[in-house]
Amino acid sequence: MSKPIFAIVGRPNVGKSTLFNKIIGQRISIVEDTPGVTRDRIFADGEWSGKKFTLIDTGGIEPKNDSEILTEMRNQANLAIEMADVVIFMVDIKDGLTAADADVAAMLQKSKKPVVLVCNKSDSPGDVPMEYYEFFNLGLDEPVAVSSIHGLGVGDLLDKVYSYVDFSKTDEIEEDIIKVAVIGKPNVGKSSLINTILGEKRVIVSNVAGTTRDAIDTYYERDGQKYLFVDTAGMRKKGKIEENIERYSVIRSLAAIDRCDVVLVMIDATEGVTEQDSKIAGYAHNAGKASIVVVNKWDLVEKETNTMKNFKNDVLNGLPFMQYAPSEFVSAKTGLRLNKLFELIKFVNAQNAVRIPTGVLNDVLNDATSMVQPPSDKGRRLKIYYITQASTRPPTFILFVNDKELAHFSYVRYIENKIREAFNLNGTPVKFIIRERG
Ligand code: GDP
Ligand code: GDP
């Protein structure tokens, strides 16, 4: 379920990425399993004391002068205030207190978000420099001295961050709510979609249990089903926040995807599938979420006999890793087919959560392997002993085999297709883990 989000904010070069990497360690994999799709090194899941969290490094833009630094820091701070449960505000003990630090500290304080102040580059423990005491002037809690490079004080820092999180509350969203993220490039129609949906039938479920992210999410009910549209802050009010800064929109998309069950990947019908679309869709795929390709602005397209069919092909070609995702052709402006969209959301959500009993899975496996023999290499043949489903969201299967090397991608894909066929399993990515059994 929903993990707490922590965001690191601070001036350039104070050591934000260094801390980020120290905390996340090996866990972050840069190259994911989809060719051409990398996960940006600014957003990752971590674990501390047996509890999971999401960490965001909000920085990364290289400002040229002091006024740019300030603007950049204010943007970072706004993003962090809006999205994070706890803000980690980092300062550099070697530089001492700067005017930009004071400015941002005031912003953070005003927001009432929990803030943990970190004095980075405190490389020699026990030897506290005078500069440390300057930071008490910020009016925040006692600073935690940390050396990110040497990993000193990082545990204390995380303990302090955790002290602000009510982990019993991170699970509070009711199970029967479907969480939906709307993602897509600027101007594709995300805001229009949310506004049309909400305007059309204004049954917003009142404040469910006071979640920490009420300010950015929207509850909605339709035909007896509850939905939570995640990260809609910039969509409901017009005048969007930092949408034009690529890095911030990537952070927003990743966070929204992380927290949702179903992703609506919006494509502009007047432009077709672009590279940027494919990158954004790749995030949803890698996260194992159920997706629907929502082709928007269909009202603007001149239709001939095969227009929709051709566009469907374009979608399949443009997003080859997402063959399982159904597509729907809508108009956020006129409301065209938004009804059908909700049917699809329920469908793919159920698919993403499906659980298949081991017995029937193995029946399908046996049929599949007798129909097409597993491959062999240098006289050794792949044996698949059995299959079991390890988890849901996405459905994840473990294949126990004699030799991993023999389990070629194409044969695993064949098994996948057989399983999809047998259980009518569409609308969700699935994962296969290959394990050797001695
Ligand atoms: P960011 O711009 O805030 O993400 O900062 P970086 O993580 O890129 O770090 C900026 C510089 O500070 C790099 O040269 C780091 O090696 C250095 N640095 C980061 N943490 C520490 C630390 O704890 N001690 C010292 N001495 N240097 C550090
Ligand atoms: P966002 O940046 O993804 O939130 O996109 P907006 O919702 O702000 O939409 C960008 C522009 O496209 C606005 O001028 C909308 O009126 C227009 N737009 C959005 N959806 C549709 C649609 O379905 N049909 C038409 N004709 N215009 C649309």
Mean pLDDT of 342-359: 95
Protein residue closest via CA to atom 25 of ligand 2? 297
To test the pocket of ligand 1, the residue of 18, 22, 91, 144 to mutate (highest count of ligand atoms within 8 Å of its CB) is 18
Mean pLDDT of 240-252: 66
pLDDT digits (tens, 9 = 90+) for 275-301: 989 998 999 999 999 999 999 999 999
Q: What are the tokens at 97?
A: 């207190």
pLDDT at 142 exceeding the cut of 80: yes
Mean pLDDT of 3-16: 90
Ligand 2 close to Cβ of residue 352 (< 6 A)? no
Distance CA 321, CA 386 (A): 26
pLDDT digits (tens, 9 = 90+) for 15-40: 998 899 888 875 443 333 443 344 45
Across the chain, mean pLDDT equals 86
pTM confidence score: 0.79
pLDDT digits (tens, 9 = 90+) for 363-397: 999 999 999 999 999 899 999 999 999 999 999 99
Ligand 2 close to Cβ of residue 335 (< 6 A)? no
With residues binned 3-state (H G I as helix, E B as strand, rest as coil), the percentages for the chain, rounded to 5, are 40, 20, 40
Distances (CA, A) of 352 to 286, 348, 390: 14, 6, 13
To test the pocket of ligand 2, the residue of 191, 192, 270, 277 to mutate (highest count of ligand atoms within 8 Å of its CB) is 192
Extract long-range pairs of 414-423: CB within 8 Å, 24+ residues apart.
414/368, 414/372, 415/365, 415/368, 415/384, 415/387, 418/364, 418/365, 418/367, 418/368, 419/356, 419/361, 419/364, 420/324, 422/360, 422/364, 423/354, 423/356, 423/364
Q: What are the tokens at 170?
A: 């991170």
Ligand 1 close to Cβ of residue 121 (< 6 A)? yes
pLDDT digits (tens, 9 = 90+) for 201-240: 444 444 444 445 556 788 888 999 999 998 877 676 655 5
- Of residues 94 and 47, the one with the higher pLDDT is 94
Q: How confident is the model at residue 145 (pLDDT cuts 50, 70, 90)?
A: very high
DSSP for 295-354 reads EE-GGGSPP-TTHHHHHHHHHHHHSGGGTT--EEE--TTT-TTHHHHHHHHHHHHHHHT-
Atom of ligand 2 nearest to the CA of 266: 3
Atom of ligand 2 nearest to the CA of 188: 3
For position 50, what pLDDT does the model report? 87
Q: What are the tokens at 312?
A: 């469907």
For position 41, what pLDDT does the model report? 59
Q: What are the tokens at 371?
A: 């129909």
Mean pLDDT of 160-171: 81
Centroid of ligand 1 to alpha carbon of 16 (angstroms): 7
- Of residues 67 and 62, the one with the higher pLDDT is 67
- Of residues 43 and 323, the one with the higher pLDDT is 323
Strand order in the sheet with 431-436: 384-391, 396-401, 431-436
Q: Which ligand gives the minimal distance to the CA of 337? A: 2
Distance CA 224, CA 35 (A): 40
Stated as kind and residue range, the H or E segment containing 276 is: helix 275-286
Mean pLDDT of 401-411: 94
Q: How confident is the model at residue 49 (pLDDT cuts 50, 70, 90)?
A: confident
